Amino acid sequence: MLAAHDIHFFRGHRKILEAVSGELRPGRVTALAGPNGAGKSTLLKLFSGELTPESGRVEINGKILANWSGREIAQRRAVLPQESHLAFAFPVREVVMMGRFPHLQGSETTRDGEICAAALAKVEGSHLAGRLYPTLSSGEKQRVQLARVLAQIWEPPAAGARYLLLDEPTSSLDLAHQHDALRAAQEWAHAGAVVLTVLHDLNLAMAYADDVWVLENGRLAAAGAIQEVLTGPLIERVFNVSVELLPRPGETRPAILTRRRLKPE
């Protein structure tokens, strides 16, 4: 379990996050939604240990994040950044292999190679294995990075859950690959992982997430099961757009139709 206890975070004097508390449970995909500047990426960075909260604490498996050794935590927690700049000409297969770093004892084993191949296949990237990373399109790069992250936590650790933190994993992807990426996230959750993903597309969130956290001006405006939280009034208030939730025949979750922008208060 990943738990946040009363997290506060400032950048200079500007308050980025305020009194955020909550728990992410294994087996569920949680979407992290909110307007630009609401603090989504910062919260993800606090969860990944890239930033440390000014007050409050983040716990993984009941242990404060800072008390984990870098290698130990990396064996069970993987983070997909919003974008990655890798200017050096590594072949794609080597980029994915970097995901195995926390597991290596000496050199790479055949098993590591198999895992990387399977992770690439998962993002429909097997044909890219021999290509040089800088020559890929931005969508292909994002898929390769996702494969690297999946390879990192391909197998469950001896004890405790796996954690998958994704920052806008679909931002550069075409429609089909958006679904591939989120299906992979779902698959990890079903296998017992804790999955948190920043998403701007509320319909994708509606389709793949079990829970949602909605951030507004650094505060957790709402959190819970996605169908209960993402109601018309909440979306209108937080996102400043007028929406209509359309029930879909044969589906339990509605489609969200945004109609127009509302005047900011």
Partner 1 sequence: MEAFGRKRIITLIALLALVGALSFCSASFGTYAAVRAPEVLQVLAARIGLGGGNLEATVQTTVMDLRLPRVALAILAGAALAMAGAALQGLFRNPLADPALIGVSSGASLGAVFMIVLGGGALGGVVQALGAFALPVAAMAGAMLVTFLIYRLSKVEGRTHIALMLLTGLALNALAGAGIGTMISRSSDDQLRTWTYWSLGSLGKADWRQIGVAALFIIPCLIALPWFARSLNALLLGEAEAHHLGVPIQHVKRWVILLSAAMVGAAVAACGTIGFVGLVAPHLVRLVCGPDHRLLLPASALLGSSLLLAADLAARNGGMGVDELPIGVVTALVGAPVFLALLLRARRKGEF
Q: Which residues bind partner 1 (CB under 8 A)?
A: 45, 48-50, 69-75, 77-79, 81, 84-91, 94-95, 97-99, 101-102, 104, 107-108, 113, 152
Torsion of CA 192, 193, 197, 203, to 10 degrees: -10
Shortest separation between residue 76's beta carbon and partner 1, angstroms: 10
Least Å distance, CB 256 to partner 1, is: 32
In this complex, which beta carbon is closest to partner 1, that of residue 26 or of residue 113?
113
What's the CA gap between 96 and 261, in Å, rounded?
A: 41
Which residues neighbour 214 within 8 Å (Cβ) at sequence distance 6 or greater? 33, 34, 220, 221, 222, 223, 229, 230, 234, 238
Rounded to a whole number of angstroms, the minimum distance from the CB of residue 242 to partner 1 is 36
Nearer to partner 1, 68 or 208 (CB): 68
Tally the residues of the chain.
265
At its nearest, how many Å lie between partner 1 and the CB of residue 88? 4
In angstroms, give the least distance from the CB of 194 to partner 1.
Answer: 15
Contact 154, 115 (CB under 8 A): yes
| Calpha distance 59→2 (Å, rounded) | 6
Q: H-helix or E-strand containing 117?
A: helix 110-122
Residue 28 or 45: which CB sits closer to partner 1?
45
Instruction: Name which of 10 and 90 has its Cβ closer to partner 1.
Output: 90
CB atoms within 10 A of CB 208: 22
Nearer to partner 1, 76 or 122 (CB): 76
